[in-house]
Structure 1
Amino acid sequence: MGTLKDRLNDDLHSAMKSRDELTTATLRMALSAVRNAEVAGSEARDLSDDEVLAVLNKESKKRREAATAFSDAGRAEQAAKERSEGEVLERYLPQQLSDDEIAELVAGALAAGGFTGKGQMGPAMKAAQAAVAGRAEGGRVAAAVRKQLG
């Protein structure tokens, strides 16, 4: 199998052929974000699968936040559209960890790094994020780190 970007392109073509408007629009948006990330900086480059995953995570988070904002503003139809787009993006993201799995990984990272107090929150977060490797939202990881650092 090719890269994640190739998979996105193939799925886009399939969605266009089957006239799936939601998937087509969502994948076009995702591929546009990937292309923007590729040309950001001093010179254009191809992104690795991990970098493409980071872009998709960012786009998925935008959809969740927009859905919440639209719901709070009483725009249920637009909120539902944002949630649907988020569900399409979730197909390409790794399975999210449970709270127990996050706590276990964070505990291991904190023990390995010798982090003990809240004053070490920054380095502890860096170690915890590396252990979680994009399989959980940063906010959930931060909450687990704060809880374990006391």
Structure 2
Amino acid sequence: MSGLVDKIQSNLVTAMKNKDELTLSVLRMLKSSIQLAQVEKGKDNALTDDDVLVLVRRLIKQRTEAAEMYKNGGASDRAERELAEIKVLEAYQPAQLSDEDILKIVAKVAEETGAAGPKDMGKMMGKTMAAVKGQADGNRVKSAVQQYLSQLVQ
């Protein structure tokens, strides 16, 4: 087991002892997702912390989309619940990069790939997302890449 899985299990036990229903339900859902991913990967291949981070990001994205739909549908109480679940899940994400740090990475990737304008968006996104390794949301990276590439055209 990875260190992150151990931390999640430990926090799950703490949530049980503290009778923290929200945290407990979110961590049970996360643990279930981890177990499902482990079954899919096979018992001989243990999940890494990076695999678990991908699962956490996926669950955060699902909660964000659900909260948006609830909000649009007028179910603000359910949207609030989804947002509260996101806060619990975010505790297992690495520290997020600042916008300036993202722009520095984008500039470095552009230099490495020889990006010349908006037509290079695809190759820039792939390499930039690999470089940030979950430390920035894809939408923030996309904005930074678009901003950088649009400056090259001017």
The TM-score, its normalising length taken from structure 2, stands at 0.89
Is the deviation greater in 63-72 or in 83-92?
Answer: 63-72
Encode CA deviations 1:94-125: one digit per residue, 9 max, x unaligned: 12222222112111111122222323222211
Match of 1:139 in 2: 139
Match of 1:19 in 2: 19
Match of 1:94 in 2: 94
Is the deviation greater in 128-137 or in 23-32?
Answer: 128-137
CA drift at 1:63: 1.1
Match of 1:8 in 2: 8
Is the deviation greater in 101-110 or in 9-18?
Answer: 101-110
Residue identity opposite 1:24 in structure 2: L
Match of 2:110 in 1: 110
| Partner Cα separation in structure 2 for residue 110 and residue 127 of structure 1 | 9
- Work out whether 1:60 is the aligned partner of 2:76: no
CA drift at 1:30: 0.7
Residue identity opposite 2:32 in structure 1: S
In structure 1, the gaps of 5 or more residues are: none
| Partner Cα separation in structure 1 for residue 23 and residue 17 of structure 2 | 11
| Partner Cα separation in structure 2 for residue 111 and residue 132 of structure 1 | 16
SS of 1:40 mapped into structure 2: helix
Count of aligned pairs between the two proteins: 148
Q: Please list every run of at least 4 consecutive aligned residues from structure 1 whose deviation after the TM superposition is greater than 4 angstroms.
A: none
Residue identity opposite 1:12 in structure 2: L
In structure 2, the gaps of 5 or more residues are: none
The TM-score, its normalising length taken from structure 1, stands at 0.91
Residue identity opposite 1:126 in structure 2: G
Root mean square deviation of aligned Cα: 1.5
CA drift at 1:9: 0.6
- Check conservation: 1:109, 1:127, Cα contact below 8 A: yes
Percent of residue pairs bearing the same amino acid type: 39
| Aligned counterparts, 1:29-108, within 5 A | 29-40=29-40, 43-44=42-43, 45-108=45-108
